[in-house]
């Protein structure tokens, strides 16, 4: 992301299929192996022993003065390794103390360097801040998996699913008392927004072309029904951009790389929240 938080282009390093297609194809293979190891029927039985009480992601953002969703990720397909030796416990506890409205933890290993272990460690630490399982959900199995892991909210990416799949997955999530963050990027994906969606996220970066455009995000946001809480995702680094997006009606801002690229992600978050609040009241 350039310093202007405006428009940036980068060619996908993973060929003509694009990074999103590669990730989703690999994810389906991963899930197939996971189903063989732990069948869905067994996973459903395990959920009965899961005693985590869901912390509302939507309410936390609605009540927050900053709306910062701090993300833990070690790498990304576009930037490579960002913070390869990052310690999950230290960073997420620091995020919570710094005032994050919510925390996102990547569980994809091949492309983001995440793991189920990372998520479980974060869950064991966080008791008041909602925890988003950030992954590429392509199968209902992963929703039950998320419940078992203690997630509060799951991510559904419109570009990875059909509208029918997204609606069914959102309904399953609600049955499991999980909230749903629906991510869209294009106007054609507005049809994915339906009552079982709790929060709509607009990805500033097109995952197929890697073009980032904040103005596109603002234009698209104006076409989302008012009753849906909106968040902005990816490519955010400047306080001014966060402040401007809040004026446009956004209540949440998913940020990871901007913090994780520093030696002290929690301190970077703390500074950004303070600067954001100062500008909001200026």
* CA atoms within 13 Å, Cβ hemisphere of 234: 23
pTM greater than the 0.75 cutoff: yes
DSSP alpha helix (H) spans, 99-162: 116-125, 141-149
Per-residue pLDDT at 232 exceeds 70: yes
Decide: 94 and 265 in contact? Cβ < 8 Å.
yes
Q: Tokens 């008392």: give the residue.
A: 177
Per-residue pLDDT at 185 exceeds 90: yes
pLDDT classification of 125: cutoffs 50, 70, 90: very high
- Cβ count within 10 A of residue 271: 15
The better pLDDT of the pair 281, 216 is held by 216
Per-residue pLDDT at 7 exceeds 50: no
User: Residue 142 is encoded by which pair of tokens?
Assistant: 């992963």
Per-residue pLDDT at 205 exceeds 60: yes
3-class state of residue 200 by DSSP: strand
**Superfamily for domain range 8-281:** Aldolase class I (3.20.20.70)
Domain residue spans of the chain: 8-281
Say how far apart CA 232 and CA 203 lie, in whole Å. 6
């Amino acid at each position: 992301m350039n310093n202007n938080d405006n428009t940036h282009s980068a060619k996908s390093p993973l060929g003509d299929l694009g990074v999103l297609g590669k990730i989703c194809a690999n994810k389906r293979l991963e899930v197939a192996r996971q189903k063989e190891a732990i069948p869905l029927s067994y996973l459903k039985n395990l959920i009965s022993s899961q005693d985590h009480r869901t912390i509302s992601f939507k309410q936390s953002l609605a009540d927050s003065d900053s709306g910062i969703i701090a993300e833990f990720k070690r790498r990304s397909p576009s930037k490579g390794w960002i913070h390869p030796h990052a310690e999950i416990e230290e960073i997420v506890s620091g995020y919570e103390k710094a005032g994050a409205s919510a925390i996102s933890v990547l569980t994809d290993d091949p492309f983001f360097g995440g793991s189920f272990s990372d998520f479980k460690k974060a869950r064991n630490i966080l008791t008041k801040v909602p925890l988003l399982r950030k992954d590429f959900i392509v199968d209902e199995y992963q929703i039950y998996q998320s419940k078992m892991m203690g997630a509060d909210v799951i991510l559904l990416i419109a570009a990875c699913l059909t509208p029918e799949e997204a609606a069914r997955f959102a309904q399953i999530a609600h049955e499991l008392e999980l909230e749903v963050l629906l991510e869209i990027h294009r106007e054609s994906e507005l049809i994915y927004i339906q009552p079982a969606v709790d929060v709509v996220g607009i990805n500033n970066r097109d995952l197929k072309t890697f073009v980032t455009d904040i103005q596109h995000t603002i234009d698209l946001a104006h076409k989302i029904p008012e009753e849906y809480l909106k968040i902005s995702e990816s490519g955010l680094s400047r306080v001014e951009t966060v402040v401007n997006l809040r004026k446009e009606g956004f209540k949440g801002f998913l940020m990871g790389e901007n913090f994780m690229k520093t030696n002290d992600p929690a301190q970077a978050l703390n500074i950004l929240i303070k600067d954001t609040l100062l500008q909001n009241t200026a």
